[in-house]
Chain A
Amino acid sequence: MSASMQASAAEPILRLRGISKNFGAVSALTDIDLDVRPGEVVALVGDNGAGKSTLVKILAGVFQPSAGTIEYLGQQVILSGPGKALELGIATVFQDLALCENLDVVANLFLGHELSPWQLDEVGMELRAWSLLRELAARIPSVRQPIASLSGGQRQTVAIARSLLLQPKIIMLDEPTAALGVAQTAEVLNLIERVRDRGLGVIIISHNMEDVRAVADRIIVLRLGRNNGVFTAETTHQELVTAITGAAENSVTRRQKSRSDQAISREAGL
């Protein structure tokens, strides 16, 4: 926990105050506050429609907020487009990864940012790719393979490594473990911790409470577009579910109750 102790002392890289976003009459986000400090993993959780994706899109520069301020490194900024966010140092790894399957790992890492555009520096790019992957202790067998031949976890690794290429201060991961198996999920979580240990701020969105509690320093719950509490990894599953669904009595608890009732009656029947 030393990393998070140190993190809470540092100045936030990113500070959102009173962010709101309306789509016509619908307010997708209302009065959201969010701080991200260097070397900290912040998890955004919430049910479908809670506004997580809208918030990520605002930070990625895809949407502009209807109200509120964004401070980045102490300066108020306007994220007018995806290019602007990248330029400032806010990198996003989208859920569908957006990799070109027909190109190899090196080409994907450097896509749009190739070294020496008129005479590609393949050796330089390959070297940089290896050192980047090595810093992340990533297990990619060969960087000259097309992406099509990599597993889901390896693709996620490439996508994360690519977001780090431009040396961002903050990296946002949208559902990084959604499509992964057990071992690959663990690898990606390790990767997130390594990124954090390099002093970056990490924002992760996930539906998987276990993953969130395994890696997050702070868990921010969104509900119906509003802040609904800040929790830590020590929070119980029950408390988190309560915060997400907004009631101690909800479909999750009812289901658990009915299952345990069934189990009890089955035991009683025996």
Chain B
Amino acid sequence: MTNPDPISAASLDRADSRVRNDESFAGALRGFVDRIRSGDLGMLPVILGLVIISIVFTALNPVFLAPNNLVNLLFDCATVGVISLGIVCVLMLGEIDLSVGSMSGLASAIIGVLWVNTGIPLPLAIIAALATGALVGLVYAVFYTRLGMPSFVATLAGLLALLGMQLYLLGSTGSINLPFQSDLVRFGQIMIMPAWLSYLLAILPGALLLARGWHTSKRRVEAGLAPLAMRLVIAKAVTLTLALGIAAWYLHLGRGIPWMFALFVLIAVVLNYGLTRTKWGRSMFAVGGNREAARRAGINVNRIYVSAFVICSTLAAAGGILGASRLASSSQQAGTGDVNLNAIAAAVIGGTSLFGGRGSAWSAVLGIIVIQAISNGLTLLNLSSSLRYMITGAVLAIAVIVDSLARRSRVTHGRA
């Protein structure tokens, strides 16, 4: 060591002069612009999309932004949104599940047959539906890991097979009505959180962000690392709290925030924690980014695939149950049509890459709001379903193009 270290006084992670450590707001803004330009788009397309959608549809029909329409929108988001959370898991590995729509339809048929027709208690019927989902996911995982069947083909076969099972279960009648006074249907159509709880929950994320930021910062200083930029953490927390608070206030001008949407967000929170703060989540990113590297690092790659497929199909079944409660029926139409593509599109629009290794649970939440806003707006305009399909298809195509271009740009900018 001929040259003495002139900067050993600085904390470990600030010792290298090549890294710009600009912690002012201007610095943060510059970092943000750099990220966007290199193709690391994050949530930007979603937020831009929502703004454009709101302006266009409000101009065409002012009802679009009315509080009660937005409450309905949230009810609709929850069903496909839960399915989309599962899609995030398989996309993260660079795989796909094309059968989530059929799986949700089958789950709704199971509820109808077991609960209404056979009289089995609702909780047991729900468990049966979820267990079927888990089993289907396990089968896909075995096909993929043991038999080397591409998930695309395995789940395409599953799409037909599960649809067949749904039709078989429902039999000749084709649809089963769920009792309107039951908790399940009320959950999907009426139940709203009390206002005080909404406001409390609106404050919670910001408060948690602050608390964690403060705690981490303290630990970093104790460990000799540079503290977090607390001003940025505070700014983020305040923005988040304001946005959520205003949203809660606006929705409570109407009916309020549905419990079903709260359940959806709760599942998203749990999944987000799993993906970002546990070894399992780290392994998911690693397998999606470089499968061979993950294997050599000692990760049980097959088990990760099993977990992703099982979570995806189980959440698809959960989405199917919510769908049944929303429609108060189990029908042959449940889970058909655009459910599959909406779930996949939501994840991709929100920023989960189709190529694996990138994504987040929040992408499904934001993405499904965009998708449902479009569908809701088009319904308000009384457009025929032919036009709605075409427009939704175009939006999906645009989302995938943005994903591909952003990925190419990330590669050239060294952001993977």
Contacts and interface: CB of A to CB of B under 8 A. Distances in A.
Are chains A and B native binding partners rather than an unrelated pairing? yes
Contacts of B224: 127
A123 B219 contact: yes
A150 B415 CA distance: 9
A94 B186 CA distance: 59
B16 interface: yes
B232 interface: no
A114 B282 contact: yes
A118 B223 contact: no
Contacts of B410: 148
A35 interface: no
B282 to A, nearest CB: 6
A134 interface: yes
Interface string B336-364: 00000000000000000000011000000
Contacts of A82: 296, 298
A120 B278 contact: yes
A103 B279 contact: no
Nearest to A128: B223
A265 B298 CA distance: 60
Interface string A29-71: 0000000000000000000000000000000000000000000
Contacts of A100: 285-286, 289-290, 293-294, 357
Chain A, interface residues (CB within 8 Å), range = 35 or more
A123 B216 CA distance: 7
Contacts of B19: 141-142
Interface in A177-223: none
A84 to B, nearest CB: 11
Interface in B271-297: 277-280, 282-283, 285-286, 288-290, 292-294, 296-297
A117 B279 contact: yes
Main secondary structure of the interface of A (DSSP, over half): loop
Interface in B28-59: none
B294 A142 contact: no
Interface in B170-201: none
Contact of A130 (B18, B225, B283, B299): B225
Nearest to A127: B223
B1 A137 contact: yes
A3 interface: no
A73 interface: no
A113 B13 CA distance: 22
A227 B225 CA distance: 50
A270 to B, nearest CB: 46
Query: Which of the listed residues B225, B278, B282, B415 has the most CB atoms from chain A within 10 Å of its own CB?
Result: B282
A113 B297 CA distance: 8
A119 interface: yes
Interface of A: 82-83, 86, 94, 96-103, 107, 111-114, 117-120, 122-124, 126-127, 130-131, 134, 137, 139-144, 146-150
8 contacts: A99-B293, A107-B286, A112-B283, A112-B298, A123-B225, A126-B13, A127-B224, A139-B16
Q: Which 9 A-B pairs have the closest CB atoms?
A: A148-B416, A117-B279, A149-B414, A102-B289, A112-B297, A98-B293, A112-B298, A100-B289, A111-B297
Given A114-B282, A142-B13, 18 more contacts: A83-B298, A100-B293, A100-B294, A103-B285, A103-B289, A111-B286, A111-B297, A112-B297, A114-B279, A117-B278, A123-B219, A127-B225, A130-B225, A146-B414, A146-B415, A148-B410, A148-B415, A149-B416
